[in-house]
Chain A
Amino acid sequence: DAGVTQSPTHLIKTRGQQVTLRCSPKSGHDTVSWYQQALGQGPQFIFQYYEEEERQRGNFPDRFSGHQFPNYSSELNVNALLLGDSALYLCASSLGYEAFFGQGTRLTVV
């Protein structure tokens, strides 16, 4: 089992650009959540997808959007990037109770 895989691992973007991050959940997991972890901080919940619908959303602006595909994989899109969007973006998948995290995508906005 490959676990939760995220791509790319690192990314550098310019302010104002758009970015798409990808996540493949652990085999059999139907729920995907995204978190933003700023340097030196704990992860902050962005949103969760289940059955291709956004089930819950955290306190993030509409510039942050997502999608879940029929195979349960997911994308996180961020538009109009700001310097403050620089962070580690973590994807977590779950089938019930326990969440399994990927290694994250390190996004740097310059």
Chain B
Amino acid sequence: GDSVTQMEGPVTLSEEAFLTINCTYTATGYPSLFWYVQYPGEGLQLLLKATKADDKGSNKGFEATYRKETTSFHLEKGSVQVSDSAVYFCALRSNDYKLSFGAGTTVTVRA
């Protein structure tokens, strides 16, 4: 079945540091890939998405590239802010209707 494996946390960074969160997946067919963010006490918000190989999703300074050859969708941001502190989830949607999520990575950015 479909599955997502993402880098374990927690991750603690200083402001303006570079952030990368690794995500790899197993899926049938050609899934669409997503990164969601969850701020404390809130639901999930879609951060970015990519629907086919080599697509790059980007939003709010975050980027991720759909790599079919390595089945990966790593999240990166060049300079993090305190406001980026949250839990980040990698997810995929394959040929069915559900989203399959990774376990989440908690990111804390210190001023």
Contacts and interface: CB of A to CB of B under 8 A. Distances in A.
Interface of A: 4, 31, 33, 35, 40-45, 48, 55-56, 58, 90, 92, 97-104
Nearest to A4: B43
B42 interface: yes
B11 to A, nearest CB: 15
Interface stretch (B44-52, B64-72, B75-83): B44-52
Contacts of B99: 33, 35, 43, 45, 92, 99
A58 B98 contact: yes
B104 A101 contact: no
A48 B45 contact: no
B43 A104 contact: yes
Given A33-B98, A45-B98, A56-B98, A103 B46 contact: no
A55 B44 CA distance: 22
Contacts, number: 52
- Identify whether the interface residues of A are mostly helix, strand, loop, or mixed: strand
B100 interface: yes
A102 B44 CA distance: 7
Interface of B: 4, 32, 36, 41-46, 49, 51, 89, 91, 96-104
27 contacts: A4-B43, A33-B97, A35-B99, A40-B103, A42-B89, A42-B91, A43-B44, A43-B89, A44-B101, A45-B99, A45-B100, A48-B98, A55-B97, A56-B96, A56-B98, A58-B98, A90-B43, A90-B44, A97-B32, A97-B51, A99-B46, A99-B99, A100-B46, A101-B36, A102-B43, A103-B43, A104-B43
